[in-house]
Chain A
Amino acid sequence: MHDHENTILIEAVERYILGEMTPDERLNFENLRKADAEVDQMVVEHTLFLQKMNRFNEWQKFHKSLNDIHTNLAESGKINSVRLKGKAKVVYLFNRYKRVAGIAAAIAGITTLMVSAIISSVTPKASPSQIDYLSKELNSIKNKTIVQDREINSLKSRGAALQNNIEIPYTKGGTGFIIDAKGYLVTNNHVIEGANNVAVQNSDGKEFYATVVYSDATTDIAILKITDKDFKALPAVPYAFSRKQADLAETIYTMGFPRDEIVYGQGYLSSRTGYDGDTLSCQIDIPVNRGNSGSPVLNYNGEVIGIVNGRQKDAQGSAFALQSRNIFNALSKLKEKENADSTAKSLKLNTKSSLNGMNHLQQVKKVQDYIYMVKVN
């Protein structure tokens, strides 16, 4: 009840500040302010805070319009836009200096090269080549035989109906895991990038066709939907999705398909940010390999805290994972999409883990049925 009164009071204060009160109301309210010091204090404090919020909003909007304008002007060529990195930058700076320095071109040139060398050595710009994405290129010949084997197996199990299906040699792969028992999986965008066909395979070796229903290169998240008519909805997802960040040193594990067999790895969260301070990801200390991209990172409360997406080239052992709040964001963006069907619109991430309290062998056993190999060609 206390909350309710306060809600009404805050609403009154806000209407008062914004001048939305009728003269009568205003008079009454001013009397109340005079009579009750607490209300008076509340008005003062709330005015201050609303001002802060307003200014923040305007500041944010201004930043946004600056960015929009920059993009517009650069695209229409009204401002010089230079987007050069690495070698091109050296050349650019060299030319630039040559022009500016005029007579002293030679000396300026050398200085520029040195300066650029220093810059490029100290600039901490994330160059994508520093991170190894962990999708694997399937060896095509070996792969073909495996696919054939599997195709035979699956044909056997699926019966004659599928016999006239064309065999697809998959060339690239990663891991994905179920976010909704109706057959929705999440994986990395870089795993399915440029895909013509996508299939997923569960830990029993059963393969299902899937389609990409959402993908975003900047966050490196993709959502797949199993479209195969042989797929039967699974029992409810056992793990939960947590928006909150994991704690440093928290014990975590991952399971994925760096090879044809599911592989388990355990480690700990080593940093709450990812490569070059990236706040969308985090650093984990779990041995991962190509093919681990898209594997879930879980803690022993049965909560998914991230998705493995890469490792640093020059540092063995440290890998990066996208924080799981990215999944929430991806899902809400998927729902916003115009062509999202009603099942997609009703997707909801499980936030209550049914694994809590189980020992970790049991947990792993439960979880592994929800992890799929993602195969792409």
Chain B
Amino acid sequence: MKETIHEQELILLKGLARNDKKSVEEIYKHNFNLIQALIVNNSGTAEDAKDVFQEAMVVLYEKARSGNFELNCQIRTYLYSVSKRLWLKKLQQSNRFISDPGDEGMANVPVEDDLTEHDEKETEFEMMHQSINKLGEPCKSLLEAFYFQKKSMQDIADGFGYTNSENAKTQKYKCLMRLKKIFFTNYTKKD
């Protein structure tokens, strides 16, 4: 079933892909209650609802970011379908069997492929997360300052108390090599 996508929704999705606060908030505001009702009515807690909804948002975010994205249904329908799959999966994992809750008039779209892709990405992010945490200080903060907060080497040298930016660079290089090593050791293990 193909539904027409509103101009409005396309703009929202473009905003979402940029992690634009307004767009994300808009989507969040309009869909959270629906998903929360779904989870809470199917033996979940408010906390579960938040987790599931946010994960569904991440799936949508990834989809919006992938250049070739085609959303042939409403954002609402998509989030609902993803959340439902995620929640059923979670229930199964914890051995809390529950019958399919039915769709209460909500259209459902196939999202399996997106979810598989999402799972892979999630594993990789988790690995990166663990690897960075394993680095310890000051490596962790040093790399984060340079690569994530995009601080200049001079600022970093001042902030961390290196005598000059050359020393900071050498340190950064060593940290990066360690991070790579930790990450790829895990990476090959998982494969």
Contact = CB atoms under 8 A, between A and B. Distances in A.
A122 B136 CA distance: 35
A83 B21 CA distance: 25
A254 to B, nearest CB: 25
A358 interface: no
Interface in B35-55: 36, 40-41, 43, 45-47, 50, 54
A79 interface: yes
A81 B46 contact: yes
Interface residues of B, number: 39
A119 B42 CA distance: 11
A52 B34 CA distance: 33
Contact of B94 (A10, A53, A122, A125): A122
A106 interface: no
Q: Is the interface of B mostly helix, strand, loop or mixed?
A: helix
Interface in B91-149: 94, 96, 121, 124-125, 128-129, 136-137, 147-148
Most buried by B among A55, A63, A69, A82: A69
Nearest to B170: A7
Given A3-B170, A78-B29, A63 B147 contact: no
B40 A93 contact: yes
Nearest to A329: B137
A52 B29 CA distance: 30
A3 B174 contact: yes
Nearest to B122: A59
Interface string A325-363: 000100000000000000000000000000000000000
Interface string A66-82: 11011011000011111
Interface in B1-55: 19, 21, 24-25, 28-29, 32-33, 36, 40-41, 43, 45-47, 50, 54
Contact of A122 (B96, B147, B174, B176): B96
B145 to A, nearest CB: 12
Nearest to A59: B125
Given A58-B19, A243-B137, A123 B45 contact: yes
A6 interface: yes
B99 to A, nearest CB: 12
Interface in A1-30: 3-4, 6-7, 10-11
Interface string A82-105: 111100010011001100100000
A136 to B, nearest CB: 33
Most buried by B among A50, A66, A70, A328: A66
A231 interface: no
A115 B43 contact: yes
Contacts of B61: 62
A313 interface: no
Given A52-B128, A65-B24, A82-B40, A89 B170 contact: no
Contact of B170 (A4, A61, A72, A80): A4
B36 A6 contact: no
B88 interface: no
B173 A3 contact: yes
Contacts of B85: none
A7 B169 CA distance: 7
Given A97-B41, A123-B45, A10 B147 contact: no
Interface of B: 19, 21, 24-25, 28-29, 32-33, 36, 40-41, 43, 45-47, 50, 54, 57-58, 61, 94, 96, 121, 124-125, 128-129, 136-137, 147-148, 169-170, 172-174, 176, 180, 183
17 contacts: A3-B173, A7-B170, A7-B172, A55-B125, A56-B125, A58-B19, A60-B125, A66-B54, A69-B28, A80-B36, A82-B46, A83-B46, A116-B43, A122-B94, A243-B136, A243-B137, A244-B136
